[in-house]
């Protein structure tokens, strides 16, 4: 019974540590990075500058083109699937039997 209680304690400590890290991970990393230069790699990277409206317009157009290409690809794939599932209706000529006449 004591082993099971120890297991549960370790399990719950891990769960709460994970939840705390997810909630306060950024500030915890900054605090650890400020303790020593060795921990500088823990600091979150600097946030990039905001994108301009021109960049956003270009990205939006590019995404629209990609979306259109994906839609066309999906349509082609569905056409291929339907054509592959239908039996071939090619006419096969019947062989004439050779008669001894």
pLDDT at position 92 is 57
Domain assignment of residue 40, yes or no:
yes
Do the domain assignments include residue 23? Answer: yes
- The residue segments making up the domain with residue 66 are 2-44+54-80
Cα–Cα distance for residue pair 69/87, rounded to 1 Å: 29
49 domain-assigned: no
In a domain, 90, yes or no: no
pTM: 0.34
Residue 66, in any domain of the structure: yes
The per-residue pLDDT for range 42-62, each reduced to its tens digit, is: 776 655 566 677 888 888 899
Within 13 A of 16's CA, how many CA atoms are on the CB side? Answer: 6
**Is 19 inside any structural domain?**
yes
* SS3 of residue 26 by DSSP: helix
Q: What's the domain count of the chain? A: 1
62/100: higher pLDDT:
62
């Amino acid at each position: 019974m004591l082993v099971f209680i120890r297991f549960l304690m370790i399990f719950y400590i891990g769960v709460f540590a994970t939840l705390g890290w997810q909630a306060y991970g950024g500030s915890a990393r900054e605090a650890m990075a400020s303790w020593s230069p060795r921990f500088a790699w823990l600091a979150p990277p600097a946030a990039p500058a905001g994108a301009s409206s021109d960049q956003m317009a270009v990205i939006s157009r590019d995404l629209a083109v990609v979306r259109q290409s994906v839609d066309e690809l999906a349509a082609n794939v569905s056409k291929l699937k339907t054509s592959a599932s239908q039996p071939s209706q090619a006419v096969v000529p019947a062989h004439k039997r050779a008669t001894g006449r």
